[in-house]
Amino acid sequence: MSQFYILTNNANVGKFLPTDDFNPEIMEQPFEMPTKYIIVTGGVLSGLGKGIAAASIGHLLASKLKIIPIKCDGYLNVDPGTMNPFEHGEVFVLDDGGEVDMDFGHYERFFGVTCKSKWNLTMGKVFDMVRKKERRGDYLGKTVQYIPHVTDVIKEHIFEVSREESADLLFVEIGGTVGDIENELFLESMRQMKEDVGRENILYVHLTYVPIPYGVSEQKSKPTQQSVNLLKQRGIFPDIIIGRCSEFLTKEIKTKISNFCDVHRDAVITGLDVEDIYEIPVIFEQEGLPEIIHKKLNIYSPPDLRKWKELVDNIRHPKNEITVAMCGKYTKLEDSYASIIESFNHCTAHLGCKINLKWVETTDLKDTSFMDDIHGIVVPGGFGVRGTEGKIKIIRLARERNIPFLGLCLGLQLAVIEFARNVCNLDGANSTEMDPDTPHPVIDILPEQKEISDKGGTMRLGAYSAVLKEGSLVRSLYGTEEASERHRHRYEVNPEHHSILTENGMVFSGTSRDGRLVEFIELPGLKYFVATQAHPELKSRMEKPAPLFFGFVTACLS
């Protein structure tokens, strides 16, 4: 936790300032500020953007505070790793190998932190912890109940993370909406926390929906009133209400929400619909949200959005425009590729180029005429045989027509298969995932994976370093001798076929230190033909786009 000083002059009584603002004329002895907590809940309907709201608030407070996010999800899965993307959207992978909710992508991109799997608390994890405590005899023979035993485990976990990370400010986002049976125990734990940490050290933010019905042209507060009433029934009284709306909230609607929901009118904030999520911190600052939090939590961490606003302006006013084909099998749910979309937004912010994504479903691909009107092709990650032959066809056309290509995880494996079939003349080359009886298994499962039957958390997961080949395009893009990216896969380029691939012109531009695992490939002589076994989109940031994406977009522009 940070060292703070208390101000003693009359104008600043009760406010705290960090030590780098030290002024001996007005300050006394330093003290250690207790960890502050911001609890974010949502109501009315799912998908309003609690994660983005929490991340945006954190961005505004991160200048002088160490901020740690925790996400509480009500599902009974231990993590989202085994969920179909249509069920849950993208699975976000952390450096430590944790498979977590996609909101952690927003936290990392906005907070500037590297998250840990322990910060994602699912009800599946909670019940597992309770069961283990009961088996050890921790409850001394008592009947184990939801309250206090389950709620105590939730709070103990949160406080443990706070201590381990020495957090100045800890965000807790409660997944789902108020009224969902899945999150009741999390909400009860959050209610209890105000007594555990002190009311002056905790703040509740509630995100709701303010619709404007068609033909009425009037902002309606009733959904917000009902949602807040549900929250109050659970003993939580929000300090700040963020109303998601297609327009800025009027003074009248803010006053009405203030009167009915018992919050100050200034604490009713517009959560405006925007084309780009990176505008949200700017809007929250305009609405005066940082000052409200400073006063309520007795902290001081002023935002500096000058550089951020420049990048947002580049996104809003691009000077160029390209079209990129996203060739996958989860294209009906764009959240399946959320981090890829954000990586392109980061490139737009620095290159001033609007990137139109053309979604191509590859399952039953017959018509490839779309390739006549695009500037580049991305083949993202995925699992299973469905859609793979369509992707291989697209990769071949990209190589033969010299269209910039970026392959991610499965995209690298399919690029190797295509090259093996059509350049190395290995007829029937394939991955043993797609065809266990292929005569040329150029992609094969790791030996240590072959005896594993469980699906969850058993892949090569998390951050791995690769040695980059001197003189390669990939090394020039990273500007370093080694690169660390996050992985999520079981299959690898088969070492038995390394030599035939390289002899025919494929460059292994990045490998594990022992050379056994191929992490990056490229084909020299083409505008841009690069693929990686990793997921570089997971570490892309607004301030620093992922190098492979930046190089790809630059090639598309040329």
- 297 and 323 both lie in a single domain: no
Assigned token pair, 375: 């500037």
Q: CB-based contacts of 528: which residues, under 8 Å, 6+ apart?
A: 376, 404, 405, 406, 473, 551, 552, 555, 556
Single-letter residue type at 216: V
Which domain-ending residue is among 272, 304, 336? 304
Q: Is residue 480 part of a domain?
A: yes
* Beta carbons of 438 and 429 less than 8 angstroms apart: yes
Strand pairing class (507-511; 36-42)? unpaired
Which domain-ending residue is among 304, 334, 357? 304
- The pLDDT assigned to 170 comes to 97
What sign results for the dihedral spanned by CA atoms 107, 112, 116, 119? negative
Single-letter residue type at 44: V
Single-letter residue type at 222: K
- How far from each other are the two terminal CA atoms of the chain, in whole angstroms? 49
Q: CB-based contacts of 124: which residues, under 8 Å, 6+ apart?
A: 75, 76, 77, 78, 79
Per-residue HEC secondary structure of 321-357 comes to EEEEEEEECCCCCHHHHHHHHHHHHHHHHHHCEEEEE
Distance of alpha carbon 171 from alpha carbon 54, whole angstroms: 7
Interhelix angle 547-557/338-351, rounded to 10 degrees, is 60
Q: CB-based contacts of 9: which residues, under 8 Å, 6+ apart?
A: 26
- 251 and 278 both lie in a single domain: yes
Single-letter residue type at 238: P
As averages over each run of 10 residues, the pLDDT of the chain (558 residues) reads 41 40 45 87 92 96 95 89 66 93 94 95 96 93 94 97 96 95 97 96 98 92 97 97 97 97 97 94 97 95 94 94 89 75 96 94 86 95 84 96 97 97 96 94 78 58 95 98 94 95 97 94 97 97 97 96
Interhelix angle 338-351/103-111, rounded to 10 degrees, is 30
What sign results for the dihedral spanned by CA atoms 278, 283, 284, 290? positive
Q: Which of 326, 390, 384 is nearest to 364 (CA)?
A: 390
Q: Is residue 532 part of a domain?
A: yes
- 4 and 51 both lie in a single domain: no
* Beta carbons of 221 and 256 less than 8 angstroms apart: yes
Q: In whole angstroms, how far apart are CA 526 and each of 269, 374, 403, 519?
A: 51, 16, 8, 20
Which domain-ending residue is among 274, 304, 334? 304
Distance of alpha carbon 245 from alpha carbon 34, whole angstroms: 35
- 151 and 130 both lie in a single domain: yes
Q: Is residue 400 part of a domain?
A: yes
Catalytic residue list contains 537: yes
Q: Is residue 456 part of a domain?
A: yes
Q: Is residue 310 part of a domain?
A: no
Q: With left for phi above 0 and alpha for psi between -120 and 50, is residue 536 left, alpha or beta?
A: alpha
Q: In whole angstroms, how far apart are CA 205 and each of 169, 182, 305, 415?
A: 14, 20, 22, 47
* Beta carbons of 395 and 418 less than 8 angstroms apart: yes
Q: In whole angstroms, how far apart are CA 539 and each of 94, 150, 214, 465, 477?
A: 9, 34, 41, 13, 15
DSSP labels, 117-145: GGGEEEHHHHHHHHHHHHHHTTTTTPPP-
- Residue for token pair 């999800």: 73
Q: What is the CATH number of the domain that holds 440?
A: 3.40.50.880
Which of 157, 188, 537, 556 is flagged as catalytic?
A: 537
- 220 and 264 both lie in a single domain: yes
Q: Which of 265, 272, 382 is nearest to 327 (CA)?
A: 382
Single-letter residue type at 530: V
The DSSP symbol for 33 reads P
- 294 and 327 both lie in a single domain: no
User: How many CA atoms lie less than 13 Å away from 302 in the CB half-sphere?
Assistant: 7
**Other Cβ atoms within 10 Å of 234 Cβ, number:** 16
How big, in percent rounded to 5, are the helix, strand and coil portions of the chain? 40, 25, 35
Q: Which of 221, 177, 220, 200 is nearest to 73 (CA)?
A: 177
- 399 and 327 both lie in a single domain: yes
Name the residue range of residue 324's domain: 318-557
- 184 and 241 both lie in a single domain: yes
- 23 and 40 both lie in a single domain: no
Task: Measure the CA dihedral 130/135/137/143, to 10°.
Answer: 60
Assigned token pair, 542: 């607004």
- 51 and 6 both lie in a single domain: no
Catalytic residue list contains 346: no
Q: How many domains, in total, are found in the chain?
A: 3
Listed in sequence order, the DSSP H helices in 402-517 are 410-422, 473-478, 498-503
Distance of alpha carbon 209 from alpha carbon 249, whole angstroms: 11
Q: Is residue 311 part of a domain?
A: no
Q: Is residue 519 part of a domain?
A: yes
pTM: 0.88
Assigned token pair, 259: 């009167």
What pairs with residue 340 in β-bridges? none
- 223 and 291 both lie in a single domain: yes
* Beta carbons of 7 and 17 less than 8 angstroms apart: yes
* Beta carbons of 92 and 538 less than 8 angstroms apart: yes
Single-letter residue type at 154: I
Which of 245, 409, 424, 556 is flagged as catalytic?
A: 409
Please classify residue 187 by burial: count the beta carbons closer than 10 Å to its beta carbon, then call 0-12 exposed, 13-18 middle and 19+ buried.
buried
- The pLDDT assigned to 216 comes to 86
Q: Is residue 313 part of a domain?
A: no
- 498 and 542 both lie in a single domain: yes
Catalytic residue list contains 498: no
Q: What is the CATH number of the domain that holds 160?
A: 3.40.50.300
